[in-house]
Amino acid sequence: MTDNFDAIISRNTLFWLLITNVAILSPLHQQATLWSIGICAICFVWRVGIFLGKVAAPPKLLVTTLAIGAATTLALVSSQIGLLNALVNLLILGYALKYIEMRELRDVKAIVLVGYFLIGLTLLDQQSMLNTLHLLAVAVLNTGVLISVYQDKSNKVANLSFSLKIILQSLPLAILLFVVFPRLGPLWLVPNMKTAKTGLSDEMSFGDISKLTRSAELAFRVGFDNPDGSTLGPSNQDLYWRTLVMENYDGKTWRQDPSIQQIQRQAYFNKPMRQAPINVSNTNVNAGASSKKIDYVIISEPSHQKWLYGLDEAFSSNDQVVELADYRLYSLRPVDQRMSYRVTSYPETIMDLKLDSNTKQLNLALPANSNPKTRKLGLQFAKDYPEPQARINAMMNYFAEQAYYYTLSPPSVGEQQIDDFLFENRAGFCAHYASALVFMARASGIPTRMVTGYQGGDYNAKAGYYSVYQYMAHAWTEVWFEGQGWQRFDPTAMIAPQRVLDGFDATFDSQSSYLQDSPFSTLHMKQYPWLNELRQQFASVDYYWSVWVLGFDEQRKQQVLAKLLGDVSSTKIALLMIFSFIIIALVIAYYAGLFNIDRQQDPLNKRYQLICQRLAKKGIARQQGQAASDYAAAVNAHLSALTPQVAADFTALSDAYVALKYQPLSESQTQQQQQHFKRLYRRLRLRLLRN
């Protein structure tokens, strides 16, 4: 006997599908196009109408036309939204259209299968602990749909509990595979999901960074490794997380130089590399002091970009990270998933003791006829302060001595942006002040460039790490001096020193645009001590999830296996995997009734009695000495109205049992009846399983 795929879908299954449909598709709203969301919404509403008996199922021609049209549209826009996004949208639409045309149980099985694929695709882009738990719950719901196919009349709580039991029973195998299976590299070959992400750009204009102050989105987290076991990093005023260096300015926008962009494009094939300082002591001291070497681990959130973060001067041992000539860290692949990488920084080293003539000219260049007042001011500084370092110090003091203001909402500027800011508005954000300093310094004859990144960090004492958010985005300048190399100067420290010393929150917490785009962010809990305590506790758990689960790379796997097995070898790992698989397979086979450990008991009797025990829990106990055929008749009378499929299957099982026990059968007939009995036994066990 085979499954009756043409049977009518029960109300129980339809109910589960309504819930599961929303649960599976809702996490994918960022990857779905607007018209995909529209089609899914129409299909869902139509299906609700069918469930309530208000509308009929759509004609197949309509569904087929929609499917062809959607597939054609996706093919046309795939280059714009990305290959992986196109695949996700194709599965979403297939799931929705199959859902609306569903008529038979075979359609339900197809929908469940596609649902599992969609859950897996969601995990590619959403890997936080909370999202993982949510998707695990969605998997429970999806499995509940499959169970409801076999338990027509069972209540919904029983379906859910059995589904949860199956998922929990699969976790040991999942954990085993996670620990011992060879660690594959990240899904570098998976195309970008092209999900919109808040963050820094490789171009910067006035107002770009101030927009980021509206976002509480996490950029990355940092854990410092100090020899004394402490987790404190350098003071807040030293936490300048270098991300991008911009040397080209057209009067409105700062950009990277094309030569750096060319190096970035070729980085995968021709890895650039800076030599770690050889004149710096490798003795690590407390990172909180004036250290020569700082070790830390960064867990970057998905940015879909290749630039990474680090304190000056940063080096990484990660084979997917390279060190560029402008002292940045750069990933060989886009950061499409959470990425963990170890960094060592040497803050006391000299960056570019000498500059070649091309680099010097690049960092002296200014657009013609741009900001004449600022240019004139720079020349005046050059006249008044012939010594370069004294000149820059005078420019920094100029910001402190004049009536300038630091604001998240600076006034608009005209064509001569820096002139308008310096001499008219006198109010701006970090990008305004950094741009003005670079322009004045270049006009005075000192090579200067723009650096963007993040400044500061929110320390979580519970777990000992720093969180860096998008609203901590910052811009500062680097000035080159003969014999000293590139030196950092931050004019923001002259206007709003508390921004650098105490962090962003201490400066802008009261301004209306602060975290304007994140009204429900948990960062708003900081003003309530007990809520802030709860926020930090949850953030700590998520951090450990990132470190021990998402950051469980080949190196960490080897450390764990070394503790369990001693000397780790490929032979030991292979034997452990084989042994574990055998144990798990035997357990599954035993519970599936494929073999019997108790040789003293007839397997046929044992399986029959187990089904009788399941039926007894339903209130249909077999009487002492009751014949199998009589008991089957009693079960049929009791269950034929409620669960006719169970009644029919048990009658067939009893007939096969009686035939095998008492009737003279040929060898082929015995084999046929045994297969029939086992098939019915497995199906009845599934139908009758209850919590």
Beta bridge partners of 480: 486
Would you say the pTM of this structure is higher than 0.85? no
pLDDT at 188: 40
Q: Which residues of 355-372 are buried (b: 16+ CB within 10 A; e: fewer)?
A: beeebeebbbebeeebbe
pLDDT at 220: 95
pLDDT at 505: 63
- Tell which phi-psi region holds residue 309, choosing left (phi > 0), alpha (psi between -120 and 50) or beta: beta
Q: Tell me the DSSP string of 650-670.
A: HHHHHHHHHHHHHS---HHHH
pLDDT at 182: 64
Say if residues 338 and 301 touch (Cβ distance below 8 Å): yes
- Inter-residue long-range contacts of 547-553, CB under 8 Å, 24+ positions, other chains counted: 547/223, 547/297, 547/299, 547/340, 549/129, 550/127, 550/299, 550/337, 550/338, 550/340, 551/297, 551/299, 551/338, 551/340, 552/178, 552/183, 553/183, 553/340
pLDDT at 147: 84
3-state secondary structure at position 559? helix
pLDDT at 153: 55
Token pair 């010393």 in the structure block, residue:
501
Token pair 């859902």 in the structure block, residue:
99
Parallel, antiparallel or unpaired: strands 240-246 and 448-455: antiparallel
Q: How far apart are CA 689 and CA 684, in angstroms?
A: 8
pLDDT tens column, 414-444: 899 999 999 998 998 899 999 999 999 999 9
**pLDDT lower than 70: segments of the chain:** 1-7, 151-156, 182-198, 272-273, 276-291, 502-527, 553-555, 564-566, 568, 588-601, 689-691
pLDDT at 184: 55
Say if residues 666 and 638 touch (Cβ distance below 8 Å): no
pLDDT at 186: 46
- Count the residues in the chain: 691
pLDDT at 544: 82
Q: Tell me the DSSP string of 167-191.
A: HHHHHHHHHHHHHHS--PPP-TTSP
